Amino acid sequence: MQKDEHTKADEKRGLRIKRLKKAIISVFLVLLIVPTILSIIALVQIHHLNQQLKSTNQALQLVTSKLNDLYREMEMQEESASEESVSVSTEANYDEAEETVVMSNVNEGMVRVCLTFDDGPSANTDAILDVLDYYGVQATFFVNGKPGMEEVYQRIVAEGHTLAMHSYSHDYSDVYGDMDSFIDDLDEIQSYLYEVTGVECNYYRFPGGSSNTVSQVEMERCIRYLEACGITYFDWNVDSGDATSGGLTVNEIVDRVVSPIAAGGSDTYVVLLHDTADKVTTVEALSVIIEEIMDMENTMIVPINEYVTPVQHVTVAE
Ligand code: ZN
């Protein structure tokens, strides 16, 4: 009888301990699971917000570039209106002047980054255009004459990039043999691009840059000739190094482009990149370059246009 009572008491105690254990495990699980779930929800929300921020940023850049286009159009209309010498009242003139000031201030204080691709088109151009299209940014293509690639030139223009000249042949002995051959080559690339795309190109990059040491012609003469033709030439102030013999890794290219821009000191960065079939790392680096630049404050990626201050290694006194 006594033994029975002992057993009952033991059973009861065993049950209490079991319940207690269950309660402790439940509390422990709740303490573990709830914060985990909350963290996951927070992470998802952060990711979502990040995406939204990125697309807002892109939309903003798009709007700015659209405003630029609009302003350019307005300016062209104003120019043609003034050429027709229409008499306008003083009040209207005042309004126009004020409007012009407002529009030209749209990008004041912004750092402009121009991504420029030399030596194309190539087997990589479509891939480069796909990346640019994905991020909704425009670049500049300093191209050579490559019959058979008409559709690529046309795609460059259709997607809003700046089509610019980099000589027809890119053959130093041919382009820089003498002044006549420089002029012939320039005519050839300009008329070829006009024929293929309907665009009259007004931007030029010298093969090897304006400070090249291979030209048989004095570079000053070439520069003056371009000026007389109303063509603006661009060198670069950021070199991706992608033309380095032996090639650079994706990370090296990204670093060479992003570091000088992040360091600041200029309001215009013209980045030298290459569009040739063997420069695969350039294509791979491009999306990282664009994302890092997009993340910088007050910095926008723009194609070369009349609002971009030319970056030139050699300038000729007026
Ligand atoms: Zn080149």
The token duo for 22 is 């269950």
Evaluate if residue 18 carries a pLDDT over 80.
yes
Burial class (CB in 10 A: 0-12, 13-18, 19+), 53: exposed
Model pLDDT, residue 102: 37
Evaluate if residue 17 carries a pLDDT over 80.
no
Q: What spacing in Å lies between the alpha carbon of 6 and ligand 1's midpoint?
A: 98
- State how far the alpha carbon of 128 is from the alpha carbons of 84, 280, 286, in Å: 43, 10, 8
Q: What is the mean pLDDT of residues 240-254?
A: 94
Is the whole model's pTM more than 0.75, yes or no? no
Q: What is the mean pLDDT of residues 7-32?
A: 77
- State how far the alpha carbon of 203 is from the alpha carbons of 8, 132, 164, 239, in Å: 99, 20, 5, 19
Q: What spacing in Å lies between the alpha carbon of 31 and ligand 1's midpoint?
A: 63
Q: What is the mean pLDDT of residues 192-214?
A: 97
Q: What spacing in Å lies between the alpha carbon of 5 and ligand 1's midpoint?
A: 100
From 68-82, 101-115, 204-218, the region with the lowest mean pLDDT: 68-82
From 101-105, 169-173, 228-232, the region with the lowest mean pLDDT: 101-105
Q: What spacing in Å lies between the alpha carbon of 169 and ligand 1's midpoint?
A: 10
Q: What spacing in Å lies between the alpha carbon of 177 and ligand 1's midpoint?
A: 16
Q: What is the mean pLDDT of residues 303-315?
A: 96
Q: What spacing in Å lies between the alpha carbon of 217 and ligand 1's midpoint?
A: 18
Query: Beta strands of 136-251 (E only): which ranges?
Result: 140-143, 162-165, 203-204, 232-233, 238-239
Give the single-character DSSP code of 168: S
Question: For 130-178, what is each residue's pLDDT tens digit?
Answer: 999 999 999 999 999 999 999 999 999 999 999 999 999 999 999 999 9
Q: What spacing in Å lies between the alpha carbon of 170 and ligand 1's midpoint?
A: 7
Evaluate if residue 24 carries a pLDDT over 90.
no
Model pLDDT, residue 96: 46
pLDDT band at 33 (very low <50, low <70, confident <90, very high): confident
Residue with tokens 């190094």: 241
Longest dimension (CA), the chain: 125
Q: What is the residue-averaged pLDDT of the chain?
A: 85
Q: Give counts: helices (H), strands (E), the chain.
A: 9, 8
pLDDT band at 32 (very low <50, low <70, confident <90, very high): confident
Q: What spacing in Å lies between the alpha carbon of 165 and ligand 1's midpoint?
A: 10
pLDDT band at 110 (very low <50, low <70, confident <90, very high): very high
Q: How far apart are CA 157 and CA 154, in angstroms?
A: 5
Q: What spacing in Å lies between the alpha carbon of 166 and ligand 1's midpoint?
A: 7
Model pLDDT, residue 134: 98
Q: What spacing in Å lies between the alpha carbon of 278 and ligand 1's midpoint?
A: 14
Q: How far apart are CA 131 and CA 85, in angstroms?
A: 46
